[in-house]
Structure 1
Amino acid sequence: MRLHRLEVSAFGPYAAREVVDFDALGADGLFLLHGDTGAGKTTLLDAVAFALFGEVPGARAEVKRFRCDVADQATPTEVVLELTVQGHRFRIARSPEYERPKRRGEGTTKQPAKASLKWVDEPPGGHSADGVTRIDEVARVVTDLLGMTAQQFFQLVLLPQGEFARFLRARNEDREELLGKLFGTERFGAVEQWFVERKRSRRRELDERRQSVREWLARIGQVAREDPPEDDDTGPGAWVDWVDEVRKRAAEAVVEARAAADASARAREDAAAVLDRRRVVAERVRRVRAAHESLAGLEKEADLRGEWRAELAAARRAASVVELAAEVDRQRTRVERAEDTDAAAQRALATLGVTDAELPEVTSLRARAGEVREEAGALAGLVDEAQQQERDRARLQDLVETATRATAQAAALGEQLEGLPDRTRRLRAELDAASEASVRLDTVRARESDLAELLAEAERLPGLEQEAARTREAEQAAVDAHQSARETVLDLRARRLAGMAAELAGELTDGAPCAVCGSTTHPDPATAGHPVGEAEEQAATDAEHQAEQRRHAAAAARHEAEASLAAVRERLGEHTAESLRSELTGVREELVAASESAARKEELEAAVRAAESEHEDLTARRTEAEKRATAAEEQRRALAEQVEQRTARLEEAAAGFADVGARRGHLTELASALEALADARSELHAARVRLQEQEEAAVAAARKAEFADVDEARAAARSGERIAELERLLAEAEQAEAAARAVLAEPELADVRPDDVVDVESARQAAEEARAAAERDAATLQACTQRAGDLDALGEQLGQALRELAPVEEEYAELEALADVVNGRGQNTRRMSLRSYVLAARLEEVALAATARLRSMSHGRYSFVHSDDPGRRNTRGGLGLDVLDDYSGLVRSAKTLSGGESFLASLSLALGLADVVAAETGGALLDTLFVDEGFGTLDGETLDVVMDVLDDLRAGGRVVGLVSHVEELRQRIPTRLRVRKGRGGSTLLLEGGLDGDIGVA
């Protein structure tokens, strides 16, 4: 890490913007920041820390108050740092959260914290060229590039006041965290974690296998209905013996159950054979009894079946006669319909003027209908002309109305156009006024705001004057009270002194020397008045101090009140509250008028556009209306001539009818009526002939079927459902009789009588009992066999689980011991984890590198000693660090060093740590170091040695910045940055050599 440029603004004691050019300041590799106490030397290091991490080291981090108290209100608090880390140059800008005055009104508002990071050159891989602007992202990028947290940075790079010795006195755990981050020992931590995870994984596997064995034992106990051994100390051997005994008892139970099942199976077969024989005999008796009952029933229904046969024969003979009779009925209905149609046709002709006397035969009717239809066809063309005549007359009326309407519309549009230009000009004038008001609106608003603020100040003036007068009176009263208290103190002090003299005089004796002057004569000894004690004097003194503090507070209040009053008067100038109020009223009225006028701007623009568009639209519409009126009048005149010519021709063709269409409709209707009458008479004749033929055929069929007439045949007829039912009943009776006789004819039923009795129930009960016993014994055999098989299978599974458990237990025991050693437990007597062991080696290197500088700085007295002993209470060890005192030959704790010695040890350790880390990282990380104070604890000779060591650091390209007020360092270090303290804030001055200033940063 190398710093290039630092800018601070309103930060700490720096009221204005100050710039530190580290490239110029650290050109020689060593520079000094010096100045008076409290000037702001450490604040520059705080600014570097704040820019990088958003926090500062030490106790100042608890306050979190970074803004300069004397900075101008308009100056923002900001820190900008430009630096290079791992070859990447970037710029960080960061602002803290602070209170700032409101831009409008009184009081303050909170300015939120901000941070941004911009890349000066190419960004690292995975980062955007635009940089980052979120506070958390900036912190993450900085931490990743530096490889350190803020606290680690403070311990290695920025060694602040009172804290750079923390690493020297740190606990093993704290050193482990810092060194692990610096030396990148995450991989060793990963190895430790791998062992822990591996151990945890193998432990889970071991527990699963042990649980599997327990589950197999539990399942075996569940199947055997016995509890397995509960004591795990019995071991797998006891489990195996118990399982073998259980399996043996299960096998014996199978043999016993099989013998019982075989016996009960034979008894079940015998009982079933007896039951089957009795069931066969009972079934034969039932069949014989049913056949006899069926024949008896059929014999009782013999007469009824004879009636069914006669009814069925008559119905079959009447079927053909009924069909012919139905056809006669249909023909008779046809004749009736034909007669009705003929009468209707005659009535239709009567309505057309044709009487019965004028109706000829069918042939003449058809001829006359043809003549009438030809006459109607000749009038078809004139009908079309009549329809066109009606349309033309309607068109004439429409044209008259159109011409009248268009003329009226043109006149109305002309009237609308007359006042439109004046209205448009008036709207344009209003629009110009609104535009002007819109332009003036911002100016009037600003003026109104300024006047309102001034009026508020003017209204505050009486109160400020009263406050100033009150504070002056209060100050005068405080001055008087302070003077009175002071006089009281002086009086009491004089009286006490007088009392002391009287007290001494009281102790004088003639001839004895005075304790004050040594005289043995006492011509005028003091006399005692009212004595004053020390407590009374101290109380008066405290009262005088309190009165003085009240006097100072009253003076400060008076000064503040008068300053506020003067500021208000200066801002008001010649203005008064009345003049401001009057002027503000006028401005507000102007603002209201301008706002109202400006608010109508868009409305007026739209109105102007609408008026112009309306003018164009009305002009176009008036022209169009005039054109329509002219065209309609011309069309009306031409069409009227055509209508007059067609009227005479149509009146002649109408021949007394209303029009040609009416005459043609009459002729067409007459032709249709004549044709309808001819058709009706033809149909009536044919229906009468067919009716006579069907009646003769029906009579002949009835006689042939042996019926007296057609009506008798219709009475004997039956529906199809009734005929089917009679056929089914007769067929079922015949089948039942045949089946019953067939059963009685079977040879095996020859000796069976219908009244025989067979006992089947007793045989069934005996067979059921034998079956139930056999099933019970079979179920018992199956259960015993299943249990024995399950126990055999489970026993094999248990054996397999025990064989698999043994190597896992051995492997876990070995892994557990190794994991404990790697993580600093178990047989690891030094309590050092693998990561601690690696870090201990690195710390040993750091101790060697730091010892070289510490021995030089301490004139060979002290050396660092690395210890890998366990910590207190047997905690982890390996990262202990003590010092060897060559004067006594003893190893001492670093905490026993004096202030100066601790400074030397801490500085040596920081430089040694930086050397080792730089060697690990190729020298690209810790090439900048700041040391804040501590040099005042060194004597001159030791300071020379320390400066020689620091001067040697420049050979390696490292830059070291010292922060100190020690005057001797100013003579030793040529490049200096001086911090000058002033009432208006601190400023920076870059100095070179001893000849004076070389420039202002």
Structure 2
Amino acid sequence: MRLHRLEVAAFGPYRGREVVDFDALGSDGLFLLHGDTGAGKTTLLDAVAFALFGVVPGARGEVKRLRCDFADPAEPTEVSLELTVQGQRMRLVRSPEYRRPKLRGEGSTLQQARASLTWLGGAPAGEPPEGLVRIDEVGRTVQRLLGMNAEQFFQVVLLPQGEFARFLRADTDEREKLLERLFGTRRFAEVERWFRELRADRRRELDRHRQDLRELLARFAQVAGEEAPEEEHDAWVAGVGERAVLAVAEAEAGQEAAKAALEEARRLLAERQNLAERVRRVRNARGRLETLEAHRGERVRQREEVDAARKAATVASAAAQAEGSATGLQQARKAEQVRVRALAAVGFPETGLGVPELRLRAGELREQAGVLATLVEEAEQQRRDRRTLTRLAETGGEARSRMQVLGDKLNGIPDRIRELRARLDEATAAAARLDGLREREAELAAAVRDAEGLPAAERAVTTARERLAIADQRHADARQHRLDLREQRLNGMAAELAAELADGRACPVCGSAEHPAPARPSAGSVDRAQETAAEEAEARAERARKAAETARHEAETALAALRERLRGRTGEELGAELTALRAELTSLSALAERKPRLAAEAESAAAEVDALTDELRAAEQAAAAAEAEHGALAKKVAERAQRLDEARGEHADVGAHREHLLRLVRALEDLAEARVALAAAAGQHAQREAELAAALDRAGFASAEEMRAAARPEEAVTRLEKSLAEAATAEAAARAVLAEEELAGIGPDDRVDVASAEAAARLAQERAESAVATLRNLTRRAGELRSLAERLAEAGAALRPREEEFAELDALTDVVNGRGQNARKMSLRSYVLAARLEEVAVAATARLRVMSQGRYSFVHSDAAGARGTRGGLGLDVLDDYSGTVRPAKTLSGGESFLASLSLALGLADVVAAETGGALLDTLFVDEGFGTLDAETLDVVMDTLDELRAGGRVVGLVSHVEELRQRIPTRLRVRKARTGSTLEVRL
């Protein structure tokens, strides 16, 4: 990241528009923001932060009051920043939310926050060429390009006043919070939480299994009737089972003995009961005969009663018919009186007319009703016409109302058509944006896949580097082995040449033909073949090294290409951006999907105008036709009403008059029929009375009353006959019993002792049932104990591996969360942060030793704190002068600034490497130089000069006058009465 140009307007202490050209300031790589205390130096850094992220660092960001109090009301508060990130040059323009005076009237109004991003030199792939104007889109794009969020940027680019002095002296908790913000260890906290939740789930599951085992054991103890011991459950369960089996065997023997005793008692009881039964039968037979003899007179009377009832039954039919004829005569008389009253009720009092006169009068009235029948149809038509008049009036009114409603609808449709067309335009615009967003979605999805493949690519690079290191080492070893062999061969070259000497042949070295003492090969000498084999091995190792180097280059190239495509974006950021884009796609798709429906609705609305116009015209015609028809029909109804009024007489209408005449006809005819029926009923009654007298004479009854006294219901006669038959049968049965051979010699006064035998049998029965119940209970108990013992064994066998597994998980969870066997009391998250802090300490020590001239270095401690508190984030200072490790709080003011600056620079390097962010070409250091002496300031300036290596620009913010002499390129910030101004000196 490199800054080019900053413009501020009505921002902080700057009431006008001021410009800072960072390209000119940073041409030498180092520049100074110089000015008095409170002149607004840090405000320029706030402006950079606000342009990038919309917030300012530290406590100033909590106030959210960025507009200059002295600014002109017409001057907008605005920050513009031009910068280059990952080769993309852009301009960021932001305005905060603030209140400004109203353009009209008094008072103020709220000016909303704004942001825009404009690409200078062409937009990158996947970005809209016109730039971005939404605050959230601008923020996401800046964070993606920088590869870090606002918190990380403030710590690694804008090294703030006093922040790292506080970090240096902070306790473990405060230091942990900052490191968490910078390194994003949330996933490790999620791992810790996952382990805790898994342990809680497994503990609940284990407790449930233990509770099941306890319940089974309690159930076993309940069935056994014993108290379960605290320990040695298996032995106790086995002993209880054995005792239950012995108890069942004893119960079986007791049951057999009780069964034999019961059979003997039952045999004796049966003998005595048989004898007692024979005595009882003799007694019963004697008793029945005596009882029958005592009631013999009663049976004679019952026989006479049955005979009289049978005679009365022959007369009962004639008596019933006589009574029926009398009842019919009485009913005919009542019916005749009812018809007389009915005739009087319709206005024709009965005057003693006979049947012929009644029928003659009915015929005359029927003729009159026939004359009125022709007018009834006209009366009905009159009613229909009047209903038609009412309907025509309603139709005319409805048509008029319909005309009003249709007119109102026609008036409201144009507004609806305009609204539908506006919504249709929105849907059309949404459909037009879909293609671009879908392409962007595909790119983001590909980027998410790249992010998912980044760890594998990094592992591939690591593996390739490791293989290259191994190949390098093997090549070096092969080369060294070849050199060693060559050296050994050279050392033994004399012996190799001597082996070729022959007497009389000149020596190739000295030329002598005599060889008095030729060299001899020593142990371990090397020949040409061995050296050649070593050379071939070296060549193979070199080829392997080159192949590994090629593989490493390919892996690094693939990783660089992957990172270049990702442009510093993490998988989480890409996933979030993809999720947001897909949500927008869903919204736009839903809006675009409504386009056909909205187009159809717009066309339907236009068609509805035509249809409503046609309906309005039809309603007008219907109203006119209904009114015309109503007038013609009303005249015809009036003419017909006069004729009908004359025909109805005193009645409501003609139909009512005709109906009255017909009722009179029916009443006269009914009375005539009733009088004919009365005469017939009287003749039939006289005939039935004569038939009854003849039947009484034949049966021997003097009168009907005597016959009725002798009559009995058929059920009573049957009952008496049955009683007589049963008495005869009982007498015969009793005499047959006394004649049986087995009852010979048995008298009714004999006595048999059955009670004692029954008592003995009951006692034997109770003992046998008790033995059976005891055996059944003991068998059931033994079965339950056996089943429970098996379930206990299964539950115990299933519980043991769960307990072992939970114990392992419990210990591992404690270790992950910094407890238990974790001697350093470091959680997984603290362990990761400790590793990062250790990297920071190493990076910071390199600068601190330079700036402190070799005296101080950082020491990272992962030891647990006092009283068992967690450790891992300790940071002390090693003083080489005394050789002791000192707490950072013991450093002086100047030493604290050196340590804080070193720590800040080290942390900036580690965070930049950790986040994979864009190259940080610009760095600001805010204040703290006033605590340094001249010599130390020289060392610090030398260190800052090193930061400029590779084109990095370092900006210092200070009011120290001496820095003005050391740094030729500076930006002078001066105080003014109504606001600060800028003075640029190059």
1:738 aligns with 2:729: yes
> Counterparts of 1:795 and 1:822 in 2: how far apart (Å)?
40
The secondary structure found in structure 2 opposite 1:164 is helix
1:324 matched residue in structure 2: 321
Aligned residue runs from structure 1 range 441-460, under 5 A: none
The secondary structure found in structure 2 opposite 1:992 is strand
AA partner of residue 987 (structure 1): S
1:907 aligns with 2:904: no
> Counterparts of 1:902 and 1:662 in 2: how far apart (Å)?
124
| Residues 1:821 and 1:310: Cα distance change in structure 2 (over 3 Å) | closer
1:308 aligns with 2:308: no
1:269 matched residue in structure 2: 263
> Counterparts of 1:822 and 1:858 in 2: how far apart (Å)?
38
> Counterparts of 1:269 and 1:377 in 2: how far apart (Å)?
104
AA partner of residue 976 (structure 2): G
| Residues 1:23 and 1:768: Cα distance change in structure 2 (over 3 Å) | farther
1:583 matched residue in structure 2: none
Count of residue pairs brought into register by the alignment: 709
Contact conserved, 1:853 with 1:908, CA < 8 A, in 2? yes
> Counterparts of 1:920 and 1:374 in 2: how far apart (Å)?
120
| Residues 1:705 and 1:744: Cα distance change in structure 2 (over 3 Å) | closer
> Counterparts of 1:386 and 1:801 in 2: how far apart (Å)?
100
1:725 aligns with 2:716: yes
1:895 matched residue in structure 2: 889
Contact conserved, 2:858 with 2:878, CA < 8 A, in 1? yes
The secondary structure found in structure 1 opposite 2:163 is coil
> Counterparts of 2:667 and 2:212 in 1: how far apart (Å)?
110
Contact conserved, 2:26 with 2:954, CA < 8 A, in 1? no
> Counterparts of 2:243 and 2:778 in 1: how far apart (Å)?
10
Aligned residue runs from structure 1 range 326-405, under 5 A: 326-330=323-327, 332-333=329-330
Contact conserved, 1:10 with 1:71, CA < 8 A, in 2? no
1:167 matched residue in structure 2: 167
1:772 aligns with 2:759: no
Contact conserved, 2:318 with 2:688, CA < 8 A, in 1? no
The secondary structure found in structure 1 opposite 2:164 is coil
> Counterparts of 1:385 and 1:791 in 2: how far apart (Å)?
100
1:750 matched residue in structure 2: 743
> Counterparts of 1:667 and 1:205 in 2: how far apart (Å)?
98
Report the CA distance between 1:700 and its aligned residue. Answer: 3.8
Deviations 1:281-336 (A, max 9, x none): 55555555555555555551314412431342133112122133224425654786
Report the CA distance between 1:917 and its aligned residue. Answer: 1.9
The secondary structure found in structure 2 opposite 1:312 is helix
Contact conserved, 2:839 with 2:910, CA < 8 A, in 1? yes
The secondary structure found in structure 2 opposite 1:982 is coil
> Counterparts of 2:238 and 2:660 in 1: how far apart (Å)?
124
1:992 aligns with 2:979: no
| Residues 1:664 and 1:992: Cα distance change in structure 2 (over 3 Å) | closer
1:763 matched residue in structure 2: 757
> Counterparts of 1:77 and 1:716 in 2: how far apart (Å)?
133
| Residues 1:742 and 1:886: Cα distance change in structure 2 (over 3 Å) | same
| Residues 1:316 and 1:916: Cα distance change in structure 2 (over 3 Å) | same
The secondary structure found in structure 2 opposite 1:745 is helix
Report the CA distance between 1:906 and its aligned residue. Answer: 1.9
AA partner of residue 844 (structure 2): A
AA partner of residue 766 (structure 1): A
1:57 matched residue in structure 2: 58
Deviations 1:870-912 (A, max 9, x none): 5455654444444455556655543343322322222222222
The secondary structure found in structure 1 opposite 2:34 is strand
> Counterparts of 2:233 and 2:671 in 1: how far apart (Å)?
121
Report the CA distance between 1:19 and its aligned residue. Answer: 6.4
Report the CA distance between 1:946 and its aligned residue. Answer: 3.5
Aligned residue runs from structure 1 range 92-131, under 5 A: 120=117
| Residues 1:909 and 1:727: Cα distance change in structure 2 (over 3 Å) | same
> Counterparts of 1:288 and 1:144 in 2: how far apart (Å)?
121
Report the CA distance between 1:141 and its aligned residue. Answer: 12
AA partner of residue 725 (structure 1): A
Contact conserved, 1:47 with 1:79, CA < 8 A, in 2? no
Deviations 1:634-665 (A, max 9, x none): 999x989x99xx99xx99xx9xxxxx999999
Report the CA distance between 1:724 and its aligned residue. Answer: 1.6
Contact conserved, 1:8 with 1:47, CA < 8 A, in 2? no
1:478 matched residue in structure 2: none
| Residues 1:123 and 1:878: Cα distance change in structure 2 (over 3 Å) | farther
AA partner of residue 900 (structure 1): G
Report the CA distance between 1:165 and its aligned residue. Answer: 1.9
| Residues 1:308 and 1:46: Cα distance change in structure 2 (over 3 Å) | farther
Report the CA distance between 1:915 and its aligned residue. Answer: 1.6
Q: Where in structure 1 are there 5+ consecutive unaligned residues?
A: 233-237, 396-626, 655-659, 995-1001
TM-score for both structures, normalised by structure 1: 0.55
Aligned residue runs from structure 1 range 667-706, under 5 A: 686=680, 690-706=684-700
The secondary structure found in structure 1 opposite 2:719 is helix
Report the CA distance between 1:346 and its aligned residue. Answer: 13
Report the CA distance between 1:687 and its aligned residue. Answer: 5.2
Contact conserved, 1:820 with 1:826, CA < 8 A, in 2? yes
Deviations 1:409-432 (A, max 9, x none): xxxxxxxxxxxxxxxxxxxxxxxx
Deviations 1:794-820 (A, max 9, x none): 444444455455555555565566556
> Counterparts of 1:663 and 1:249 in 2: how far apart (Å)?
110
Contact conserved, 2:78 with 2:95, CA < 8 A, in 1? yes
Contact conserved, 1:864 with 1:884, CA < 8 A, in 2? yes
1:982 aligns with 2:976: yes
Deviations 1:523-565 (A, max 9, x none): xxxxxxxxxxxxxxxxxxxxxxxxxxxxxxxxxxxxxxxxxxx
2:585 matched residue in structure 1: none
> Counterparts of 2:909 and 2:835 in 1: how far apart (Å)?
15
Deviations 1:65-105 (A, max 9, x none): 9589965898999897989999999877655999x9xx999
TM-score for both structures, normalised by structure 2: 0.56
AA partner of residue 163 (structure 1): E
AA partner of residue 324 (structure 1): Q
> Counterparts of 1:132 and 1:164 in 2: how far apart (Å)?
31
Aligned residue runs from structure 1 range 811-850, under 5 A: 811=805, 833-850=827-844
Deviations 1:919-974 (A, max 9, x none): 22222396664422112223445445544544554566766543211234445657
1:515 matched residue in structure 2: none
Aligned residue runs from structure 1 range 110-189, under 5 A: 120=117, 155-189=155-189
Aligned residue runs from structure 1 range 581-596, under 5 A: none
Contact conserved, 2:209 with 2:799, CA < 8 A, in 1? yes
Contact conserved, 1:6 with 1:82, CA < 8 A, in 2? yes
Select 2:928's aligned residue among 915, 929, 934: 934
AA partner of residue 891 (structure 2): L
> Counterparts of 2:687 and 2:213 in 1: how far apart (Å)?
110
2:39 matched residue in structure 1: 39
1:851 matched residue in structure 2: 845
The secondary structure found in structure 1 opposite 2:959 is coil
Q: Where in structure 2 are there 5+ consecutive unaligned residues?
A: 127-131, 387-626
The secondary structure found in structure 2 opposite 1:271 is helix
